[in-house]
């Protein structure tokens, strides 16, 4: 199971990012646990200044703007 954190204040882009991660996981048949992190101190702890951010298994994979579906697929397949 992949542990995915979506970092951001809960804006539309953050919600969309979480939905994109779930959609790609379903498409790939990968089990994921998605956690939305909205605490600014926790987000800053990952070194992210621009949201949404995506952390997969403890590694920052993306920050700022919506990620591309193919990038999400690559992160979940690794």
From the options 3.90.550.10, 3.30.910.20, 3.20.20.10, 3.40.30.10, give the CATH code of 2-77: 3.40.30.10
Instruction: Give mean pLDDT, residues 53-77.
Output: 97
User: In 35-53, which positions are buried (b, 16+ CB within 10 angstroms) versus exposed (e)?
Assistant: ebbeeeeebeebebeebbb
Mean pLDDT over 60-73 rounds to 97
Domain boundaries, the chain: 2-77
The pLDDT of residue 78 is above 90 = no
Task: Show the tokens assigned to 74.
Answer: 């690559």
- Average pLDDT of the segment spanning 26-45: 97
pLDDT for 68:
98
- Global pTM reads 0.95
Model confidence pLDDT, tens digit, residues 19-31: 999 999 999 999 9
């Amino acid at each position: 199971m992949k542990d995915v954190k979506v970092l951001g204040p809960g804006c539309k882009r953050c919600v969309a990012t979480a939905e994109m991660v779930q959609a790609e996981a379903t498409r790939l048949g990968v089990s994921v646990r998605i956690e939305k992190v909205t605490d600014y101190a926790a987000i800053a702890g990952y070194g992210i200044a621009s949201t949404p951010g995506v952390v997969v298994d403890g590694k920052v994979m993306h920050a700022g703007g919506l990620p591309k579906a193919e990038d999400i697929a690559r992160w979940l397949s690794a």
